[in-house]
Structure 1
């Protein structure tokens, strides 16, 4: 063991605190797949002797980061304190970006995150599909909320009084032959969106634009809309709802969780 420690010391800086490394190794041994660990299992995952793992586990229990039930240990909510400062410093676009990147790769479609500002949607994060060669919409771009899937999701999430105020504050413009033709028709579309929890808008703002959007919720709060721009070959609405919608909803939930939604649901 002394020879091993000497070898390690030659490879690490003089300031290296081995006990800090081991402490983190024990904490990181706990995972979603194995939230409860015995001393033996924790020792194996942290690459420690059983005696050393026991000392670390008991110390972390005394400090409040773990609790034990007989021979089994598990994390406590206090373990969240370790990453809380980092998470609190992240903005929603920063948190969403890796999820948007994964979605863009998985679907080969551009993924975006939008918020509602007055009667417009504003792009706060956007990742182009791998096949895209140029950027036509950037972060900060605005579109009329009523003519987009993101906007209809966000308007559908408003309290009824605010929703009616939104309708009163807009004027329908016939951008294409597919654009909704009246406030009454728009109201029906928004109500439909509210009922089913997602929106698909095809060729209403531009003949080449088609989008699917779902809400991103933290607890009971609607914080943004997640959208993917779809190619026309993706098929009819029923096919999209069956194949693409679940993946979009899962991504929205992961974004919400990383932005504090997991704690809001507890």
Structure 2
């Protein structure tokens, strides 16, 4: 028995720990008996912490993850023992060690390594910020980015997560989905007005996604944050599958929407074409 098992009690799957809302494996996915429930729940505990909830109590973790308080306590004790979580006065927070999980992806995944050099070329040719993202549930996650010396938005850096419904990259990625999946996705979202420009009506969003699919790009004017305008195109592999989206972002005070499209779309399409045979 190793040191970990001597110091930390084993975590066994318990029926009481399962939330009624917990996702079930798809019919075509693995059998339930092949899944490790403890790993799934431990990762859910880590994911419960975010920008709005940087510090959580044990009870809050239990509620967010669909766990009993006793189970949440054991997961937090385990994560603290492993160095991924710290505690102070009954409040828990993530430690920098969690960055290892993201770094493992960034250092090993093929997609960011292929896209990053093209982002550099694009950003420095246009003298504007550029980023690539993938869809993850309700959000898009930035997997590669470069600022070209312009600080346009704090969201334009690897690892940041922003809502898909009000971003150009998000609409490009949603436009690649079958229509029934788009409809289901919109029905599940809370379309909050992040700025006065944010589209918050489901039917209007559906029209914008359809427009994106028809024209091959998305242009968003200050819907995520005031002052930020973005244009995006899909990144397809040689089979035509959309793997990611790539954008150029500008400050609204410097660049109009017409200028954004006229000046940046040709460069984006050129980069898109160059990446197709590499992805």
Following TM superposition, the consecutive aligned residue runs of length 4 or more in structure 1 with deviations greater than 3 angstroms are: 131-137
Q: Residue 207 of structure 2: which of 183, 188, 194 is its match? A: 188
More helix as a share of residues? 1
TM-score with structure 2 setting the length: 0.57
Give the whole-Å Cα distance in 2 for the aligned partners of 1:201 and 1:234.
13
Q: Show the counterpart of 2:249.
A: 229
Q: Show the counterpart of 1:127.
A: 146
1:27-106 matched pairs, under 5 angstroms: 91-106=110-125
Q: Show the counterpart of 2:263.
A: 243
- 8 Å CA contact retained: 2:131, 2:157: no
Measured after TM superposition, the shift of residue 111 of structure 1 is 0.8
* Gap regions ≥5 residues in structure 1: 1-88, 260-266
TM-score with structure 1 setting the length: 0.60
Corresponding residue SS for 1:165: helix
Superimposed CA distance per residue, residues 201-257 of structure 1 (whole angstroms, 9 cap, x where no aligned partner): 0111110221110001112201100011112222233x3333210101111222222
Q: CA RMSD in A?
A: 1.9
Give the whole-Å Cα distance in 1 for the aligned partners of 2:127 and 2:272.
17
Give the whole-Å Cα distance in 2 for the aligned partners of 1:152 and 1:123.
14
Between stretches 226-235 and 141-150, larger displacement belongs to: 226-235
Number of aligned residue pairs: give it. 170
Give the whole-Å Cα distance in 1 for the aligned partners of 2:225 and 2:181.
27
Corresponding residue SS for 2:116: helix
Give the whole-Å Cα distance in 2 for the aligned partners of 1:134 and 1:182.
25
Give the whole-Å Cα distance in 2 for the aligned partners of 1:122 and 1:134.
14
Measured after TM superposition, the shift of residue 135 of structure 1 is 5.5
- 8 Å CA contact retained: 2:164, 2:170: yes
Give the whole-Å Cα distance in 2 for the aligned partners of 1:138 and 1:244.
20
Q: Which has more radius of gyration?
A: 1
